[in-house]
Structure 1
């Protein structure tokens, strides 16, 4: 609390504002009667004491948190810098001054004097709305600076907009509290300022936005005015005449007349310039630009005003779109409109978020503690690209889904960095007692896992999504639909994506931008559960007891976690590419279908999102270590060889990056090994001839998960290494031909972004990279060869060639099964089920039980690629797969990569007779029925 005897001093004593200044020598008062009018106070030392004392008191009462990056200034000492705030406030003045001192920025409450340009300002703060100004619509200081810039072409002035938030609770619509604490009063009262300091002082946030050049702002404003033809020629002529008179007057008063502007045209396109009275419209325009800018920044930090949940549900149900859906439901089911409306309302109550700032604050404090317990650090990459878009775009975060921690972690990072927390589409399986209401009050809106065929539920969800988007609420959903059990990205689910596009085509407010987000862990709580589920163990339902079990794992063994924000994807660019017009769907309907162009656009966006997530991958120490050791025989290497292989992978990834967004760990190879031992993922076996590094007991399956996080970064290098290693010598053109034939399947599985039409150039660059590192020897006549047998480079080539083999083995096993069973005998689901069983058997017998071999999603992806490329055809009614000889042609290419003994094993495993197939299909069907029964 602030002592009573200080309150009057702090909030009534003069401070340095647009109109007043306190300096050690004197204090001045500037009015609108002249550019600079001064008045000397006799108690300047007392005012200095006041500023120091009030600053100390405010520093005790208020602990602001800095959001975003500090502004970067050029080193030109001639540049004048001013901080721009929206509303006049004594407490804000002192707060900004304290912040500039703390962060070593140009001071805010120190006079800015530039005698060469007749500038003598008493502080470096501009208030856009100042109650003491003669014209309350214009800032006196901004007016004077505009005049100075127009008169002196060499003058440089930078404006730094600043946002100050006393509390971060989104405001409630029609809230009495909102009226009490509104920042739009012309003269904030003592009560308001005391409330901010006393109640919100510990929840105060400050963000310095990027500096803006005042001259550039002026030029843009005048250019905009010209384009809109706001001024007639006669008005401009009169303005020119007035301005020239003003310039002549100033030049006559100047000792060096040549330094003045002799002609209005020397200031390009200036229709309104030079004097404080002559540039009113220009200043008004600039002030409006800066106000809109700060308003947008504030909205991006707080989010939209909140509506009471009950009112929001009612608005939703009585919207024209849902009224139509209710009538259609009643007509189809034979019920009354009232009954259909009650049903629709129950659906809305299931899903609608109930945002509570107190719950969000509680989560923030709890998660701040939790992350310090779970992780050594949370590293965030490329966040500034999100901040740059937040004010002007509807943000749709589309992260990969690796763990239940994802949505808490991503929301925490966004909130901590000063942006509005997104609403997260969560499966209703999380709506469990205790946890469910907490998540609903913080980030979640719940949707059913499956609602195919339920037209009314679909309509309510689409309308709710539309409501969120048109209210500029940031949204987050997991495009994979569920958590990846293997560490690879899953094929995208297009439902939520289609709803987002549907909303934008009904009504365009802010343009939509998708933010692909990569999340990478070094250990995950669900690791053992994932492996069990891949092996066929039933998925455990979420419950409070399950949450408590996870709570027992809270200890410092999870390393670091990485969030990397990929290159944003603008919906408008896709609409232009696919020729989908804006506002092309009825605004009052949810059941209008997307046409073929819009549907194709949705599919393309889905694939691009996955590719951009992978482009933003972080090659962590654990993922790199996993890739190296799991490629070695028996998952063990001599420590020196292990270091060299890690260094090789780092060099390959750094010298020819997968993408500019990809982040490579900067740990040394030895630090990476020590880090893996610390996390108990690997162990060092002492030996007289040199220590051995091997995967710790029962950790191989888990490490395969982290290897798969970055497999796409190295897969083409591995593929090329395997082609050379398995053949000894191969012609470059032959190598490229085989690679181009099999590339679409790798691209589909790992969401590689390299386009097929430019693949040859990409392959040549990667081959050259391998040649540079000595892993491949280039001979005459474009022949490529392995290094000398048993050399260090030869051993490294063999290790690098291993990762791609597992993917190609799955392909060959699937193709062998299809070829042996013949065209027209199996459905797609049957092929996936049989491949899953064969993969399990193969894994146990030959692959150390690594779950990659039996992940259903991988077989589904491969069959999808075969169908898309027309190698397979699926009958619409039965789902039976048909194919021709080309299936064998693809399998023929496997002999160039796979070892003969492995191909023989795969053929034997895939050889099932009719009785075995019938038995397997029956057992799988019974198992699915039991699983479905448990869910019911």
Structure 2
């Protein structure tokens, strides 16, 4: 490095240190990319810029990476640790040529690899983004250009606090040298590929240009689909064409987002303050896979679970923090109230009516708007459950938006479309007390300004928040597998609803919900809730509670539910202490130690957090429950019983194991319970371990209420095989309510009608009901007997007593002869 370069860098460092605040993406590049610090790293930058280089230097050192200003020494020869793939622009413009010095460096390094078979330099793409304003359609100035000196100065002054240092997965020069050689042509090609990469990287961070609102409406109004519906509506209603066009424009005004980069940028600062006020931390998992999808040019559709109104803000905030573009969000029309509606709209929300069945004009306008978002490359987010879960479990998906997504693909999109399931979890949901009241019959309060103000007054520390990105579902690939001929139905003008659409949408919805659950996050609060609610008295000593939480953690660590599921790394005692610090449990002290318990009201509220993760423990709980109920049985009998019950659990809780995977999953879990000494094995016979009966019973009790519900329905079906489907669901719900009151079952989902609807649907799918929805006697009797062995005697007696009482009500009164 020349003396002049050193001097200029020294002069630049002071103002940069004062004016620039960088965010490095990913935040832990060594782990997330991943990088090998024992191998040389060559930073590759898109444009020759000392400002960018110094900014990268500060960010690299803060991330524990080698300083790009420090040269590499390879076999006694010194090489720069950075390379630019384009000339520095000037105020007179730039032809974007690859600098001769960069081509020479690539050529020399490739030659060094040919001379040394052990050498492997990691080429690390690094770009410095000064703001992420995407620009507007119709602007002549390209948004992906480099900045000359004066422009860079203004950018630092205006956007220095919003500077993003973006690092990407490395390219192995060893691979390049082995595959392509080391001549000048390969060095040139390497530089050109890097330039394309940086263009995609900037587009992934800033997003496509934003539409001018009126131009967007004009495009939509001119679309063949809307034009046709407007004409037909005018004819059928015998009204002027302009009147229907005006209605269509009013609908567009009601629906369309008005995305504002400046609001998102300033909103990021507000939300940073808000999350610090609300939460002790936001934990993000698997963001790198989404960044890669964005950079590869995928149309991304985020499909998160829906716990709280906070979900809208949290996911957009996390995506912006992770260097991606906040999505356009499908929000319920109930949120379009002043002042929240205009703010949400400028933050990317587009509003959708709860129902538009029969309104052909509205459905066409909405579908065309959604297709426009996809065609222009804007990422989209919608909540497939349709509303917030009041019980903490995933709700059955509403498939309307998913169907419209596939229909948008049938317009002939050029880009691959990928669903990204997202698990969102909290240690405290602000609306949870309201949910409990609504489940007890209170009317849902309409969203309004006063409700927002009441919520803001309650702001306090709510523990941790979690955003886990699940395994993406590439829709093009999914359709190729399910409907190989789907491209034959592509029509860019008339939206199609081919016969295969509904069954494919339904199977895709189940897969999507399963992937959300696969990415669940456990924490100290949810694990403590799971343990305490499994105790008959909702109380455990601290020692028993820690022992049970340790049992859960060992199951999660030794038999991971899925690769995308996350669990805490803290010690058991620290997790329990943190959960107690959330002020949700009663702690009583006596001479023997602490007793941790839940009162009735908190028991009800804590079922919400237990239900967030209950699916992770459904299968091990069922194994434990069967062992406790039978005390001794063979592995083969264990497999048989679980094989009969599992389809119902899978459908209700969106469990991940297919029928072919189930035997191996059972054996792995049984082996783990044996390792923990919760059960014993002798000559392929499984039995309970009386010395560890406490933890085993608590583990088994997790699934108890679910099996009781199944027993209710199967007992009813056995007693009255020709019971109508609707009557079976209604009577099951009524009997569950009765059991809930008599036995103190304080879980709102225990008598949730939708749970019984799911159960009856699965009974039909599994062959327990015939085409008329009447019971198939032998399978129903067999399953009813199995369940009768797994519920307690008092529950069986109560079910029978209630049935007998109902039978007596239906019998005609006796008559006497006179």
Normalised to the residue count of structure 1, the TM-score between the two structures is 0.80
Shift of 1:97: 4.0
Q: Match for residue 234 of structure 1?
A: none
Shift of 1:402: 0.9
Larger RCO (CA under 8 A, 6+ residues apart)? 2
1:704–1:104 distance in 2 versus 1, CA, 3 Å: closer
Are 1:23 and 2:2 matched, yes or no? yes
1:800-850 per-residue CA deviation (whole Å, 9 max, x = no partner) reads 221111011111222333444551x5343x544443343333222212432
CA–CA separation in structure 2 for the residues paired with 1:682 and 1:703: 10
Counterparts of 1:475-486 in structure 2, within 5 Å, are 475-486=380-391
Counterparts of 1:45-84 in structure 2, within 5 Å, are 48-68=6-26, 69-70=28-29, 73-75=35-37, 79=40, 81-84=41-44
Q: Match for residue 356 of structure 1?
A: 260
Contact 2:45 2:82 in 1 (8 A): no
Contact 2:356 2:363 in 1 (8 A): yes
* Secondary structure of the corresponding residue to residue 243 of structure 2: helix
Counterparts of 1:539-578 in structure 2, within 5 Å, are 539-556=444-461, 558-578=462-482
Shift of 1:622: 0.9
Contact 1:809 1:906 in 2 (8 A): no
Q: Match for residue 29 of structure 1?
A: none
1:55–1:470 distance in 2 versus 1, CA, 3 Å: same
Shift of 1:189: 4.3
905-914 vs 424-433, greater mean Cα deviation: 905-914
Are 1:795 and 2:694 matched, yes or no? yes
757-766 vs 733-742, greater mean Cα deviation: 757-766
Contact 1:148 1:274 in 2 (8 A): no
**Equivalent residue for 1:712, pick from 586, 607, 615:** 615
Q: Match for residue 721 of structure 1?
A: 624
* Secondary structure of the corresponding residue to residue 418 of structure 1: coil
Counterparts of 1:522-533 in structure 2, within 5 Å, are 522-533=427-438
For this pair of structures, how many residues does the alignment match? 799
Q: Match for residue 125 of structure 1?
A: 83
Contact 2:233 2:244 in 1 (8 A): yes
1:733-763 per-residue CA deviation (whole Å, 9 max, x = no partner) reads 2232121111111111111111113322322
* Secondary structure of the corresponding residue to residue 757 of structure 1: coil
Contact 1:631 1:802 in 2 (8 A): yes
Contact 1:23 1:110 in 2 (8 A): no
Shift of 1:478: 1.1
**Equivalent residue for 1:166, pick from 130, 134, 148:** 130
Are 1:701 and 2:590 matched, yes or no? no
Shift of 1:335: 4.0
Q: Match for residue 184 of structure 1?
A: 145
Shift of 1:391: 0.9
Counterparts of 1:483-502 in structure 2, within 5 Å, are 483-502=388-407
Larger Rg: 1
Q: Match for residue 347 of structure 1?
A: 251
Counterparts of 1:546-695 in structure 2, within 5 Å, are 546-556=451-461, 558-581=462-485, 583-596=487-500, 598-695=501-598
1:725–1:603 distance in 2 versus 1, CA, 3 Å: same
Are 1:96 and 2:56 matched, yes or no? yes
1:773-794 per-residue CA deviation (whole Å, 9 max, x = no partner) reads 22222233x3322223xx3x12
Q: Match for residue 869 of structure 1?
A: 766
Contact 1:55 1:98 in 2 (8 A): no
1:715-747 per-residue CA deviation (whole Å, 9 max, x = no partner) reads 111112111211222233223212111111111
Q: Match for residue 815 of structure 2?
A: none
Contact 2:650 2:656 in 1 (8 A): yes
1:812–1:512 distance in 2 versus 1, CA, 3 Å: same
* Secondary structure of the corresponding residue to residue 351 of structure 2: strand
Contact 1:492 1:610 in 2 (8 A): yes
Are 1:422 and 2:327 matched, yes or no? yes
CA–CA separation in structure 2 for the residues paired with 1:538 and 1:837: 21
Are 1:883 and 2:751 matched, yes or no? no
1:882–1:335 distance in 2 versus 1, CA, 3 Å: farther
* Secondary structure of the corresponding residue to residue 719 of structure 1: helix
1:318-354 per-residue CA deviation (whole Å, 9 max, x = no partner) reads 1223223333434444444433322222222211110
CA–CA separation in structure 2 for the residues paired with 1:102 and 1:779: 57
Counterparts of 1:349-498 in structure 2, within 5 Å, are 349-392=253-296, 393-498=298-403
**Equivalent residue for 1:851, pick from 743, 748, 767:** 748
Contact 1:87 1:183 in 2 (8 A): no
1:734–1:755 distance in 2 versus 1, CA, 3 Å: same
Q: Match for residue 816 of structure 2?
A: none
1:190–1:916 distance in 2 versus 1, CA, 3 Å: farther
User: What stretches of structure 1 of length at least 5 have no aligned partner?
Assistant: 1-21, 25-43, 223-266, 268-272, 876-880, 919-936
1:527–1:113 distance in 2 versus 1, CA, 3 Å: closer
CA–CA separation in structure 2 for the residues paired with 1:136 and 1:689: 76
Q: Match for residue 768 of structure 1?
A: 671
Contact 2:767 2:776 in 1 (8 A): no
CA–CA separation in structure 2 for the residues paired with 1:48 and 1:295: 30
* Secondary structure of the corresponding residue to residue 410 of structure 2: helix
Q: Match for residue 790 of structure 2?
A: 897
Are 1:785 and 2:669 matched, yes or no? no
Q: Match for residue 154 of structure 1?
A: 115
CA–CA separation in structure 2 for the residues paired with 1:113 and 1:654: 42
**Equivalent residue for 1:808, pick from 707, 721, 729:** 707
Normalised to the residue count of structure 2, the TM-score between the two structures is 0.91
Contact 1:355 1:442 in 2 (8 A): yes
Shift of 1:419: 0.6
* Secondary structure of the corresponding residue to residue 421 of structure 2: strand
1:628–1:305 distance in 2 versus 1, CA, 3 Å: same
* Secondary structure of the corresponding residue to residue 561 of structure 1: strand
CA–CA separation in structure 1 for the residues paired with 2:485 and 2:273: 48
1:96–1:787 distance in 2 versus 1, CA, 3 Å: closer
* Secondary structure of the corresponding residue to residue 500 of structure 1: helix
1:908-935 per-residue CA deviation (whole Å, 9 max, x = no partner) reads 33556499799xxxxxxxxxxxxxxxxx
1:915–1:287 distance in 2 versus 1, CA, 3 Å: farther
* Secondary structure of the corresponding residue to residue 799 of structure 1: helix
1:36-75 per-residue CA deviation (whole Å, 9 max, x = no partner) reads xxxxxxxx5xx53332112212222222222224366545
Shift of 1:897: 0.7
1:387-419 per-residue CA deviation (whole Å, 9 max, x = no partner) reads 222211221111111111112111111111111
User: What stretches of structure 2 of length at least 5 have no aligned partner?
Assistant: 812-818
